[in-house]
Every structure is written in C-alpha cells, then in structure tokens.
Structure 1
C-alpha cells in the first residue's frame, strides 16, 4: 500500500481522501506522539477531514493543538513553537478544489521523510492501533498560531519600514497573514481574491503565469512596486516586478539564493533547475546541490551543514535557519524587502536566461525503459546524476529524462546557453529514450 507521495497524501475527496483515511492517519500518528498540531486550508471538505483526524489522535491518547484555518507554513512552524511531536496540514495545496490531502510535519518544520511516511502506512495497513482508556483520551486545545507566525515574519525586517506598494493575490486561500504583516511593516497593500473560499472562485489555486495574469496586469497598470501570489495553503509564493513581469521560478530562486548564501556555501535545488541558477551563483562562489524533485527532498538537503537556502522553481522556498517548511509568507516578506533595497526588475536583468526545451513521450513500461536509459547513459557519459530520473551534465548544457509519477510518460528536458545547442541536446535525449524503448 502506498498512500504518500512526496507531498503527503493527496487526491480526490471521497475517493482517495476520506474521513475514514483521516481517522486512520490520526490513529497511526498517535501511536508515538504525545502532542500534535493540526490545521487546514479553506476547502469545505477540510472541516470534517480535520475532525476525523483529531478524533483518531485523541482516541490514541494524543493531545491536539488546533490552529484552525491557517497556512501550511503556520502549521509546520507551530510544531516547534508548541513543543509538539508532529503536525498535520489538511490541504491539497495548489490542487483543484475537488481534492484534499494530509501533509505531516516534524518539529524542525521538515515534512515527514520516507522512513516516517512508511511507518504510518505500515501501521494503517496492519491496523496497529490501541485506543487509550476512557479516562486517558487526548485533550483538545485551540491556539492562534497565525499571530505567532506574523510576529516571526515581522522580525525579518529590522529598523525602517519597507515603504512599498504591494498587491497580494491571496488566491482565496489561507495566506492572509502576508497581507497583515506587510501592512504592519509600512506597506500600502491591495488585495486580490482575499476572501477565503476553498472552491477558489477567483482563480485556480496554483499561482502559474496564466493564473496570475490579473495580478501582473494590475501591477503593471498601477504604481505598485511588487505583486505577490500564493496558492491555497500558502506554502508557495510567486512574484511580479513593478513592470508587470512575472518572475520565473528559476529567476526567483536565483535571487533568493544569492541573497541568502555566502561564498563557499551551497544551495539545494531540484534536478530540473535551470543552468542559469548555477551560473548566477557561481559568480559569488556558491555551489548548487541537486536533489530529487519535491520540497521534502529540498528540505532534507537544506538541513545539511553549509546549505544556506533551498528552493524549487514551482514556488517552494526554504530558509533552513528559519524553518525547513516552505514558507510562502516568509518568501513574500523577503521578496518585498529585496525590492525595497533594489527593484526586482533591476535584479532580474542580472540573471541569465537560457533556452530550455521540454517534451513528454508516452511510454507503456516506463520503469523498465528508465532502467535501460540509466544503463545506456552510464556507458556513454561521465557526469550523470540518478537522484530522480537521469540527469546528464554536459558542461555547456544538460538533459534530464524523468518518468512521470502519475502518468505513462517520460518527461524530457534539455537546456543550453544557446538555442541551437539546446535543440541538439534535446534531440540526443530523445534518441536515447527511443533506443531504450526499442531495446
């Protein structure tokens, strides 16, 4: 049985995600937890899923700290603040409203790693649960973790106020803490989609360039300095510069990483990150450390000594000296502070951009095909990474062959510093995949 993906349990409500499953997760987590923090995003299904989760925890004798509707980073950081053993966010993050899920957190703010996820799955499969005695059930306590989160965010800015005009697209989600903190720091703040609504009527939850067109247009046509966008649970953050330019994930990663890291330190990034990030950071003697795709893997790498920052181009940003949970509101404060020092558009001009090519190939037996790709690549190339798929570094270019986790596809990515080279490398990668399919 495999319940967990890299982002926790997630799927359609009533099919993959049910109250029965939430109850089982609560019981399994309660086996060795004395106190657990729980919270949820605004999805309507979250209310009863959280109730079932809490019932399972309390039935196990585990005390519960309920933070209500709150951003996922609020929940993740509250685990340590309340000296709890774990935390659970009832959320499907940027997924559509018909989905929901459960994501589990360690006291460090890091999501449950592979070993911890497997332990929960094994307990559920074995029904390894002993209810507490009638007079030993867990207590339930409500706590305003959002106020503590806001206090921590305000502490990120020393001295003078930020004095920026910021438009925040909350996406009808749980990221309203960003608005209040920016206002308290002296910003003039306008909002889009600020009303919490788990149906996400204003725009789809994921803050992609297409979904943030209204934000980009409003920033460009006003005197705003920065635009900020969150997903439904605000673990993600994307930014728009004053001229209406939506910053790519790679560009924002480069800017955050360069601000966070000192010469000789490292930055954790997934294997599909643009070569531009490594080039931009090399200018200040900062190296990149590649991880599998997924913020849980970036967080694991970011917890290592000498790693100053971790980020995913999808919008998950991790400052390990603060928390190992991707914190969208923290990223928003950092982005506005960077703009106050020097406009994001000016900073963006310093980050190189390279042509990147992407393709997806339907493959019936993707596991066997990828095994053959690995063997073939190992015989041909020297600089090969197999953390997540197969990534080949060619020095002036790279390519990645990676099986989809949900579809019968192998995704092919190639990047170089000029367009002709990128096209040639993509062709090489596709030929390797074709050979592996026909073998």
Structure 2
C-alpha cells in the first residue's frame, strides 16, 4: 500500500516502492516541471540509495540534469532548490515513519513542497499511466559535496541570529540525530555556533536505535546524555531532520510543541517587532498566549507544512511552523528546518544572561497536549465525528481540517492523518489530566 497526500508518497519499501513504481513517479514528476536542473537527496535509510538511483537515472534518461546531494536533511535540498536556478527537487524519505518505510517528497522551484492541486495532478498521471517523453538526449549527473555547508553558512548569517553572542556563551549541547540525515549537518552547525557537542545516535547509518519521532518517550538516551555531560540543552531530530525537539538542562523533554513557541518568542525579542505567526490547528494554544503577551498574533491553517507555507505567503508572515517541532523561517527558506530551529533556540537562550532553558520554558504559558489515534480500519470516521459533535455541544467548532472543538483554555482536534491510515486525536488543556478527560469523553 502506498499512502499519497500533500506530504508526498510513502510506502513499505519492499512491497510498495518497487522499481516500476519509482520510475513511474520519476516520469510524472518530470512531466510537471519545466526544462531545467533538479536537485535530489535522501535521508539515511539504506533503501534510499537504490530508490534515489532509480529516480535519478530515469530523470537523466528523460534528458533532465541532476545534482545529487546524497544524504542530507530534507530542508537542505529545499534550500538548495530555492537558492539556485533549479526548477524542482526530490527527497527520498519517509520522514518519521519506521525504518522499513520510504517515500518521496516533491519540491517546487521556490523550494516549497508541491501544492495540493499539483499533488493531485501528479497522482492522476500515475493512475492513468500517461507520461510524455520530453527528450531523446540524456541529461547530466553532477554530485554536490557542499550543500550542507552552504545551508549552515546561510543559517548563521540570518538577521535574527546573533552569532557572536551565541559563540561567547560556549554552550554545551547534546544531540540525538536518530542516525538519520541530520547526523553530519547538526554537529557541523553547532561547531560553527561555538558549542561543545555530545553526540548520541549520530552515525548516519539509517539504523534507527530509538523511535523515529522525537517524542519524550523516545529520548531516554538523550536525557541521559544531557545529565552525564552537564549540558545546557539537548536537541533531537527525526530521520530527515525537519523536526526538532528539546531536552532541557535538567534532562527533561519539554515537548516538541514548545520548540515553535520558544523560537517565535526569541524571534520577536530579537527583532523587537510584533509578528504574525502562522501555524496549524493542532499546535499548542501556548503559542497564542505568548504571541498575545508580545503584541503579536497567530494565524491557523489546516495541518500540513504546505498549508502553513501558503498562509505565510498570503499574510506576508516571516515565521511559522507546526507543533511537531517544525520551524519555518521565511528568511532561511519556506520549509520546516531543524537546523534553523537549533540556531533560533540557542539565540533565545543567549538573550537572557543568567537563565537556563528550563527557566525560560517555565516562564511561558503552560499547557499539556495528549496525542492519541484510532485505526481507521476499526472505526467509522463519519460516525466518530458525528458522535464528537454531540458530545461537545458547549464548544465552538472549527471545520477547517477535520473537526476541532475549542474552549478558552483547551481544545480537542480530530483529523485524518496525511501520512498514515489513522484518525489523529489531539487534546490540550492546562493539565495532562484535563486533556485526557477530553479524549475519554470522546471515546466514551
């Protein structure tokens, strides 16, 4: 089974992403692009090497010139596309899915992912098996060895990053890259930021020695690394390094929801200017409260990186992201980027001389999110939503993406996943117990 969505395509490598399937997507992708260069890259999954080779060879046979970045973070390929003459890009990754999965993310000329309507056109080409042959002359293949370095140099030169101040702090940082695509990039960035680095799961082998999502329950090794090294902060990313989670100086995961809150607060403070922050419906209400306290506001969209990016463009927002640890900074490029997030969080930490990351986080509005899910094979999606509407009559309702029931200090959101055959159920309230009660009311 292949899962298709605005996040691209994903499937079990051996059974779903067969050579014929990969070649078909290469043809369809080529059809949708104007003539010109394409950047490609992948995360560290062992299956990615063969998939990327199949895809690139097919494009070359179609007359397309290719620049191969090999194993790099997804945002690095996005950055390279945006900052070059390339007409598009392709990343072979299944993001946070388990090791046996892989997938493809399709990038537009501006470095953003394919829009929903472009994804639909791509999928229709696959379903109808109708492709155009554009050229009888083979394209050229070019390896790229410097994309990560170019990406990092751009990050440390961002206007919202005070490089000198960060370097003067000489932070001790623990990092966990889940042996994924961030294994080379993140340590190198921290070196440029003047940090002493303690590594865990950073060999780039694609052998995921913990759960692939940077969730608190998957960060036991990083927590220990922070404490053993008396680190100022710990960072964890997912396999393609577009999401970032934080472990504080006490060895406690603060939850990936607060990555965006901390980054946005630091951005507002650094620029000393109110901002419009764009995020999705499932992101913490703490962001709204923090924005209000800083004379700023929050715009919300349907879940999905491209939905956030589209709204950022529409309202001319400089910063956005998602509650899964995704930071989007327009000045960097319009895509989730854990490397940008690391620089912004360290910049936030450097703004207060004598405060730890634990103290800075504790000063933010505090809410707790509980994340649950149900298998759509065992649940009637329509009936579940109808039952929820009957259960939460006292709330206001947002139908932008699934259904979200909202109160002044809490909410519960039901939506079909873009990447898995499940219904996601997120609830947030001032305490974990209050959030759990919302989910229990729904399930009962």
Cα distance 1:75–1:35, how it changes in 2: closer, same or farther (>3 A)?
A: same
Aligned length: 428
Aligned to 1:348: 361
Cα distance between partner residues in 1 of 2:395 and 2:381: 23
Aligned to 2:97: 95
Cα distance between partner residues in 1 of 2:176 and 2:433: 38
RMSD over aligned CA atoms reads: 2.8
> Could you list the runs of 5+ residues in structure 1 that have no partner in the other structure?
432-439
Cα distance between partner residues in 1 of 2:84 and 2:420: 40
Aligned to 2:143: 142
Does 2:347 correspond to 1:337?
Answer: yes
Equivalent position SS for 2:365: coil
**Superimposed CA distance per residue, residues 173-213 of structure 1 (whole angstroms, 9 cap, x where no aligned partner):** 1212121122123211221122111122x333322212211
Q: Is the 8 A contact 1:412 1:430 kept in 2?
A: no
Equivalent position SS for 1:234: coil
Cα distance, 1:273 vs structure 2: 2.1
Cα distance between partner residues in 1 of 2:242 and 2:191: 20
Cα distance, 1:411 vs structure 2: 4.6
Q: Is the 8 A contact 2:175 2:234 kept in 1?
A: yes
Q: Is the 8 A contact 2:2 2:9 kept in 1?
A: no
Q: Is the 8 A contact 1:30 1:56 kept in 2?
A: no
**Superimposed CA distance per residue, residues 23-45 of structure 1 (whole angstroms, 9 cap, x where no aligned partner):** 11111111233221101112111
Q: Is the 8 A contact 1:60 1:130 kept in 2?
A: no
Cα distance between partner residues in 2 of 1:40 and 1:357: 31
Please list, as runs of the form range in 1=range in 2, the aligned pairs for 1:8-23 lying within 5 A after superposition: 8-23=8-23
Cα distance, 1:63 vs structure 2: 1.4
Aligned to 1:384: 397
Q: 1:182 aligns with which of 177, 190, 205?
A: 190
**Superimposed CA distance per residue, residues 226-285 of structure 1 (whole angstroms, 9 cap, x where no aligned partner):** 211122111111122222121212222211122234665322222222222212221112
Cα distance 1:367–1:423, how it changes in 2: closer, same or farther (>3 A)?
A: closer
Aligned to 2:203: 195
Cα distance 1:272–1:142, how it changes in 2: closer, same or farther (>3 A)?
A: same
Cα distance 1:331–1:21, how it changes in 2: closer, same or farther (>3 A)?
A: same
Does 2:45 correspond to 1:43?
Answer: yes
Aligned to 2:130: 128
Cα distance between partner residues in 1 of 2:364 and 2:442: 27
Q: Is the 8 A contact 1:254 1:277 kept in 2?
A: yes
Cα distance 1:207–1:356, how it changes in 2: closer, same or farther (>3 A)?
A: closer
Say which is worse superposed, 40-49 or 286-295, in terms of deviation: 286-295
Q: 2:250 aligns with which of 234, 243, 246?
A: 243
> Could you list the runs of 5+ residues in structure 2 that have no partner in the other structure?
none
Cα distance between partner residues in 1 of 2:432 and 2:131: 58
Cα distance 1:75–1:410, how it changes in 2: closer, same or farther (>3 A)?
A: closer
Does 2:413 correspond to 1:400?
Answer: yes
Q: What TM-score results when the alignment is normalised by the length of structure 1?
A: 0.88
Cα distance, 1:320 vs structure 2: 2.0
Equivalent position SS for 1:42: coil
Cα distance between partner residues in 2 of 1:187 and 1:239: 16
Say which is worse superposed, 43-52 or 249-258, in terms of deviation: 249-258
